[in-house]
Chain A
Amino acid sequence: MRPDHLLLWALGLSTLLGPACKTADDPGTSAKARVMPKHGQVWGRDLATGLGLQEWELCQELGQLDCISDAHLITLGGVEPTTLGIDQPLANAAVSAPIAVDRVAMAACGERWERDLAGPAVIFGAVLEAKAGADRKKAREEVSSLLVQRLLARQATKDEVAALVDLYDALEDISEEPDRDWAIGACMMVATSTEALFY
């Protein structure tokens, strides 16, 4: 993991998942309040579909172990009854679960960026093609909307797009490759949002 990615990760969590993500109105409260975590394989499948990757292309720990089906299987809600005796998902998320989620999302979003760079682009094309000024901001808005559409299967709200686009301002002065870091960071923020991880 590259140090600038760590910075980007921290920025991402603090912006998108904070108040800026909420709509202006009170969204209402579910009387049932029954929220379940997606199994790691389901989340990974959604992530792969959204990013136009195969599931096995999302993330490999040490370049060898599939993150979701192997390295972080139990952490991400899987079971392994035959050798570990874990016959049902852990009742409470493991303390390492957020780390595992971040690692998978960062690897997958990074992979998507590299592939888009090589072309043909699937998600980040607008940012890669934008030249300067207003075009660049518009490109980030376009990519932000696309990320929400592909990863959350719905249209993005204006607030969400604004929050994602604003991340660029925070990165611009501290990143050597702000376009890349913004693209991967925005992707991570959507991919690791509560909405992406729970249902």
Chain B
Amino acid sequence: MPTGRLPARPLLAGAALALAALVLLPPVEAQPPAPALFCEVYVDAPACAGGDVGCDTCHTSAPSLNPYGQDLSLHLLVGEERPLHEDLFSAGLGDALAAVEALDSDQDGYGNLAEIEAGSEPGDAASQPAPADCTDLDDQDEWDLCGYDPDYAYKKVMIDFCGRSPTLAERRAFEERSDPSDALHEALDLCLDTEHWRGRGGRVWNLANKKIGPLKAVKAGRDSGPIPLADYDDDYAYFVWTQTDGRDARLVLTGQTFVSAWDRGGVTVYEEWDRSPTQDYEQRGHDRYQAVEKERRAGLLTHRWFLMSNTMFTAVPRTTAAQAYRAFLGYDISRLQGLDPVADEPIDYDDKGVGAAGCIDCHSTLDPLTYPFSRYEGIGGGNPQAPSYSYDEDRMDWFVDTDGADVADTPEAGVIFGQPVEDLLEWAQVAANSEAFRRATVLDYWVMLLGEPPRGTEQGQYIALVDALADEHGHSVEAMLHDLVDTEAYGAP
């Protein structure tokens, strides 16, 4: 189960053969245990505060290696035939790590070991250890460069959440407050209610872009396109609703109601509603109604738009599961992330050849991840008597002509994070309660507010937020954000 770890990517991927040949590096096969092994060696490294080191320790973008990864590759089991078996790789990595400690792979003037211990990246010349003694020579500027600066954090909160800089009068008023922390959080509370943050087209709304994948050409409802198939406004509204007003963010995967966004005098208002498919059909029409009965709903995963744009006409909707895994749990299987192979999988019920060498590594995770999605209709291709985008227990029977007789045997039960689940509702519960979900949720906002994933020295702050999201924050994004703006990562100039 990959929870508790950063997305598992190989240290050295077989797909890098061509590149490796160019730079005379010995090719090595994918080695998923590398991030964990690294942190077994460098237990106290700041970058390991979250459990495993990030992929970018050795990679630029996997499978390509950065200078540190290249040095490691050159010193790893020299003379051994490639590709290396995982056991051999694991046994040899420690020596290779030791062998390159004294090198300065990225030639930034700091040795690899010094960088690892300081929390900077040994393979990135732009990442260097922070000066041991911080100096803030200029007392004319307004910032404290050596630590958390409430004035700086206030300005950043106003820009990030309110969508404007504070005025000179507001800054003076803040500086005069004897309780800057209280003042900061008061400002944040006000900003969390602005249109810039939570309105239609606001920051939270746009955070859902990659999860929803809107396409106006097939949009129904407001501003509909020429081929209206579904209305992604339902998805955006639902997403923002789960992220605001202290709601439990897990509802994005587990909720069984819907939300609409209304413009009330220039303010976006989100209203929860609950109608049966028949009621919604009568109220909103054939091109917009949500067709899944309440007892089969799993948040955005069973929204009409999600099923339309991902499942489409497929019997075993791997794309749908992969998108759910990527969008809400942070694992992109196409990048070999979150692989957690299930024994005897993939079975290849739909005769797509996924058991072939080169496919099996991903599909042994992806296919059992997909089965729980298989009873939800897409645009078509399943039971012609069942409405599109609805749940149909016998859906697979209708694909025999196109996908072979075995497709009817596709189970609804599947596996996520190594845990068997009976159906998509259980899948969603496991997903929503996972550390992967919390990591992905916090990471979304971290990247939004800081422009990049946590740096090595910031892993501890990031993990603290991830842990707190489940505990003291009760899965409230807004509560998490109150802690995020208190971190040094956010508030130190």
A binding-site residues for B, Cβ under 8 Å: 23, 25-32, 34, 36, 38-39, 41-42, 45-46, 49, 79, 81-83, 85, 87-88, 149-150, 153-155, 157, 199
Contact = CB atoms under 8 A, between A and B. Distances in A.
A79 B159 contact: no
B79 to A, nearest CB: 41
Which of A149, A150, A154 has the most chain B CB atoms inside 10 A of its CB? Answer: A154
Contact of A42 (B163, B209, B219): B163
A156 B155 CA distance: 17
Interface in B130-168: 130-131, 134-138, 140-142, 145-146, 155-156, 159, 163-168
Given A79-B206, A88-B210, A34 B450 contact: yes
Contact of B140 (A25, A31, A36, A81): A25
B335 interface: no
A144 B196 CA distance: 30
For the complex of A and B, the 6 pairs showing the least CB-CB separation, nearest first, are A87-B209, A82-B216, A27-B138, A31-B130, A81-B209, A153-B168
Contact of B138 (A26, A32, A150, A199): A26
B215 interface: yes
Contacts of B216: 82-83
A154 B174 CA distance: 13
A29 B146 CA distance: 9
Contacts of A25: 137-138, 140
A interface, over-half SS: loop
A49 B214 contact: no
A154 B138 contact: no
A23 B209 contact: no
Given A25-B137, A31-B131, A199 B167 contact: no
Given A36-B451, A87-B209, A199-B156, A28 B137 contact: yes
Contacts of B138: 23, 25-28
30 contacts: A23-B141, A25-B137, A25-B140, A26-B138, A27-B137, A27-B141, A28-B138, A28-B141, A28-B145, A31-B131, A34-B451, A34-B452, A38-B159, A42-B164, A45-B163, A45-B164, A46-B165, A79-B206, A79-B209, A81-B209, A82-B216, A82-B219, A83-B216, A88-B206, A88-B209, A149-B168, A150-B168, A153-B165, A154-B168, A199-B159
Interface string B251-289: 000000000000000000000000000000000000000
B380 interface: no
Interface of B: 130-131, 134-138, 140-142, 145-146, 155-156, 159, 163-168, 170-171, 196, 206, 209-210, 213-217, 219, 450-452, 489, 492-493
Contact of A31 (B141, B145, B167, B209): B145
Contact of B163 (A29, A30, A41, A150): A41
Given A31-B131, A157-B140, A87 B210 contact: yes
Contacts of B167: 49, 153
A43 B209 CA distance: 22
Given A32-B493, A81-B209, A81-B214, A42 B168 contact: no
Contacts of A39: 163
B259 to A, nearest CB: 19
A82 B235 CA distance: 13
B403 to A, nearest CB: 30
Contacts of B493: 30, 32
Contacts of A150: 168
Contact of B166 (A23, A36, A153): A153
Contacts of A83: 216-217
A153 B166 CA distance: 7
A158 to B, nearest CB: 10
Contacts of B170: 153
A154 B165 CA distance: 11
